């Protein structure tokens, strides 16, 4: 985003107010950004921040929908990187309203656009939120008969068990190196071929270092075998 845009400057100042705990001031700044938006792109930015300061889940959903609608109207490369976060926000709003099947559909849309998010911590945060949301809402999608969406929302059963067992063991005894290598790949696992390669590679690095007890080395081998990269 262009930091010289008045709307962006207002939103940056609003984010600073948020960080300082001045919630009312932040909301007023975001409202000023919305009131001063000159086109759909600027309105999209302002609506995103206004959505964070609504008093009810329904109003939060309304502003997130406004933000998404404006991004659709812009329809060019300026908003391409917004979509993973926009869909996550829609999904989260539906989840807070208890509409879990709707939430799941938006988490699926977010997963489809996850690669559009910038790399780094922002992209990682999006992947973690998407993966968690897919797992949490898959059962609701299945209950409504959306079998394909439910299937996409589950970490492979063969992967989930062995990897979670390893992570639980490492958390219990504070095995930080193994957690540091493996946890990001697991938390951001969306079931794509690239995700499987990342997870298996992380497990392989831990296994190759051979600092784990023999029993855990065997568990790592089992988890590696469960991650199909073909």
3-class secondary structure per residue, the chain:
CCCCCHHHHHHHHHHHHHHCCCHHHHHHHHHHHHHHCCCHHHHHHHHHHHHCCCCCHHHHHHHHHHHHHHHHHHCCCCCHHHHHHHHHHHHHHHHHCCCHHHHHHHHHHHHHCHHHCCCCHHHHHHHHHHHHHHHHHHHHHHHCCCHHHHHHCCCCHHHHHHHHHHHHHHHHHCCHHHHHHHHHHHHCCCCCHHHHHHHHHHHHHHHHHCCCCHHHHHHHHHHHHHCCCC
Residue 125 contacts residue 88 (beta carbons within 8 Å): no
Domain boundary among 60, 76, 92: 76
For residue 179, the enclosing domain spans: 157-226
> Do 31 and 87 belong to one domain?
no
**Residue 47 and residue 74: Cα distance in Å, rounded?**
14
Pair 2, 34 in one domain: yes
Residue 23 pLDDT:
93
Number of domains in the chain: 3
Whether 23 and 38 map to the same domain: the answer is: yes
Residue 129 CA to residue 88 CA, distance in Å, equals 7
- 170 and 99 together in one domain: no
Torsion, Cα 67 16 97 41, to 10 degrees, reads 0
The answer on 51 and 24 residing in a single domain is: yes
Looking at 76, 109, 126, which one is the last position of a domain? Answer: 76
Instruction: Pick the last residue of a domain from 100, 130, 154.
Output: 154
Per-residue confidence in pLDDT tens, the chain, 230 aa: 788 899 999 999 999 999 999 999 999 999 999 999 999 999 999 999 999 999 999 999 999 999 999 999 999 999 999 999 999 999 999 999 999 999 999 999 999 999 998 888 888 889 999 999 988 888 877 777 666 555 555 545 556 678 888 899 899 989 999 999 999 988 888 878 888 899 999 999 999 999 999 988 998 998 888 787 66
Question: Quick one: 150 and 171 in the same domain?
Answer: no
- If asked whether residues 114 and 180 sit together in one domain, one would say no
Q: Domain check: are 161 and 146 in the same one?
A: no
The pLDDT score that the predictor gives to residue 1 is 73
Let me know whether 111 and 69 are in one domain.
no
Closest CA to 101 of 54, 153, 51, 65: 153
Q: How many CB atoms lie within 10 A of CB 184?
A: 16
């Amino acid at each position: 985003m262009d930091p010289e845009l008045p709307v962006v400057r207002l939103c940056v100042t609003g984010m600073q107010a948020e960080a300082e705990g001045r919630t009312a001031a932040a909301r007023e700044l975001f409202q000023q950004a919305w009131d001063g938006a000159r086109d759909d792109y600027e309105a999209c930015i302002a609506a995103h921040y206004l959505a964070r300061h609504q008093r009810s889940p329904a109003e939060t959903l309304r502003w997130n929908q406004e933000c998404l609608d404006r991004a659709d109207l812009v329809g060019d490369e300026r908003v391409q990187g917004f979509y993973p976060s926009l869909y996550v926000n829609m999904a989260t709003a539906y989840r807070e309203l208890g509409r879990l099947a709707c939430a799941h559909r938006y988490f699926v849309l977010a997963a489809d656009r996850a690669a559009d998010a910038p790399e780094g911590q922002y992209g990682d945060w999006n992947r973690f939120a998407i993966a968690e949301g897919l797992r949490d809402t898959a059962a609701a999608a299945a209950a409504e008969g959306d079998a394909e969406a439910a299937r996409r929302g589950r970490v492979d059963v063969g992967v989930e068990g062995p990897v979670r067992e390893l992570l639980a063991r490492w958390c219990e005894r504070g095995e930080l190196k193994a957690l540091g290598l493996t946890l990001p790949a697991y938390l951001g696992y969306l079931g794509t071929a690239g995700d499987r390669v990342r997870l298996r590679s992380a497990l392989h690095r831990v296994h190759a270092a051979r600092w784990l007890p023999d029993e855990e080395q065997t568990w790592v081998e089992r988890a590696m075998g469960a991650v199909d990269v073909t």
